[in-house]
Amino acid sequence: MKTKFFTLVFAALALGACKKEIRLDVKQMHQTEETQQWEINITHPVFSTTEAEIEKSCVICNDEIAGLVNGIHAAFIEQAKESVAKLDSAGFTQSAPYELFLEDSVFMADEDYISVRILSYEMLGGAHGMTHFYAVNYNIKTQKFLNKQDIIDLNKADEINALLKAHLQDPDQCFTMEAPTTDNVTCINFTPDTVEFTYAQYILGPYSCGYATISIPREKLTGMLKL
């Protein structure tokens, strides 16, 4: 009886050890467009796998990312055309092409979750362009897109805010406008080991300070995460 029990336990452990983590394939899609009015350079990820059920879920996430990117692109074109038309009607000439640059950061891509951050830099005249951030966090198994309250427990906001303040890297003492909190965070992403909190320009400090990303180890957030 004991021999049979140990054999079953060994078999279960062996099966667990043989199970491999599924990493998704990530392909980068590129799009460029140059005219007299604008210069556009877009990069965004497309996820895939040979596992049929996971592949179906990847398609849903890919469509969401493509929709986000296409929406940003279309809005930029519309604003650029409006700006050019106003300059023409006032008798002015566009001094330089407007710019749109989109790039992505893939924080996690496995059989459980996809976590992507899209950075969009738009220059439509003026002293400088603006950088915007968009998070796409997705549960592969439930086919659900995750918002902030799906990732962190907002009932523990005070504890998380203390960790954000402690982990903010600010050697030049530039971020003096506001303290980082769960309320003013621009977007949240996650890796297998950390949670990444991104704050756009003008939130923690002036434009010249740039944006800030605060990385907190998951073990520091024990009891504060919903993942």
Name which residue leads in pLDDT, 93 or 190. 190
Query: Considering the chain, what is the average pLDDT of its residues?
Result: 92
Position 226 scores a pLDDT of: 95
Q: Is the pLDDT of residue 65 over 50?
A: yes
Buried b (16+ CB within 10 A) or exposed e, 93-121: eeeeebbbbbebbbbbbebbbbbbbbbbe
Q: Is the pLDDT of residue 10 over 50?
A: no
Position 127 scores a pLDDT of: 81
Greatest alpha-carbon pair distance for the chain in Å reads 94
- State the average pLDDT over residues 168-191: 96
Position 6 scores a pLDDT of: 43
Q: 135-173, pLDDT tens digit by residue? A: 999 999 999 999 999 999 999 999 999 999 999 999 999
Q: Is the pLDDT of residue 5 over 60?
A: no
Residue the block writes with tokens 């998070």? 135
Q: 95-124, pLDDT tens digit by residue? A: 899 999 999 999 999 999 999 999 999 999
Q: Are 96 and 87 in contact (CB under 8 A)?
A: no
In this prediction, residue 128 has a pLDDT band, given cuts at 50, 70 and 90, of confident
> What's the rounded Cα separation, in Å, for the pair 116 and 46?
11
- State the average pLDDT over residues 33-43: 96
pTM of the complete model? 0.88
Instruction: Sketch out the chain's domains with CATH numbers.
Output: 20-146 (3.30.565.40), 148-227 (3.90.640.20)
